[in-house]
Amino acid sequence: MKTGVIPRLVLCVFTAGILMTHQAMAEEPKFQNRSVTEWLRDFDSENPTPQQFSITADAIRQIGTNSLPLLIDYLSEARNELFLKERNAWRENQATNDAPSPRPACSRFEALAALDALGSEAAGALPALEKMLDENPPDPQVLYVVARMGPIGAPLLNKCLTSTNKFLRLEAQVCFELIQDHSEVLYPHIPVGPDAPSFQKRTCEFNVKILQASLKIYTAEHPGNFSADSNSYYPPPSVLPK
């Protein structure tokens, strides 16, 4: 091969990659002249406000199922591994550099927040969400998002009730309890608007429910460790007042 052919070939491939990236961004569905990618970044910006969460969630609902291909890609393990590498590099940089740098956005969190906003319209992402349950450990937000889809997510929740993973069994059970009780954690009284509880806040409350259920099971299995006379007794956790 002649000298210079390889560099030219590399340059052509690199240029083609840039053009494909620009084309993909241009083809993304938009709302108010902003692409899905641009809206998603608002979910994981520095200190997002409830109003910002609400505006972004509404934008995703306006875009609707057209956003699903990108959201499903954002859920992928490859995307998450890339984020973890970027986060580790960012942490090292923060420890050695006096000048703070922007925190890398978590594409998986952005996608889950968007699917939460879509509700039942996010059904097309169920296979990708189910695949995430095989990860170790599974993301605790996944089944919450599945529960938010309503009846269409029930088969996956039922499947998790008999999972070999005890955490998934417990989480699915809590999801069904929230559905049965029509809990504010799953069905906020104010579903939209600046006063609506954000995905981040609701999933934190969901985690508290999981911890409470886990403690209840442990207490039943080890009653001696949680008697009033035991030195290891601790009162059960409670949700912080709003």
Domain-wise residue ranges, the chain: 30-222
Q: Residue 155: helix, strand or coil by DSSP?
A: helix
Q: What is the pLDDT of residues 31-60, one digit of tens each?
A: 999 999 999 999 988 777 888 899 999 999
Query: Which residue, 186, 173, 163, is CA-closest to 214?
Result: 173
- What CA–CA distance (Å, rounded) separates 120 from 147? 9
Q: What is the pLDDT of residues 114-157, one digit of tens each?
A: 999 999 999 999 999 999 999 988 998 999 999 999 999 999 99
Mean pLDDT of the 62-88 span: 93
Q: Residue 34: helix, strand or coil by DSSP?
A: strand
| pLDDT of 232 over the 50 cut | yes
Contacts 24+ apart (CB under 8 A), 192-197: 192/54, 192/57, 192/58, 193/54, 194/50, 194/51, 194/54, 195/50, 196/50, 196/53, 196/54, 197/50
- What CA–CA distance (Å, rounded) separates 150 from 162? 20
| pLDDT of 9 over the 50 cut | no
Q: Which residues touch 7 (CB under 8 Å, ≥6 apart)?
A: none
Buried b (16+ CB within 10 A) or exposed e, 178-197: bbeeebebbebeeeeeeebb
Give me the pLDDT at residue 29, please.
92
Give me the pLDDT at residue 132, please.
96
| pLDDT of 5 over the 60 cut | no
Q: Which residues touch 50 (CB under 8 Å, ≥6 apart)?
A: 194, 195, 196, 197, 198, 201
Give me the pLDDT at residue 61, please.
96
Higher pLDDT among residues 171 and 94, named by residue: 171
% of the chain residues with pLDDT over 90? 60
Confidence (pTM): 0.80
Higher pLDDT among residues 140 and 20, named by residue: 140
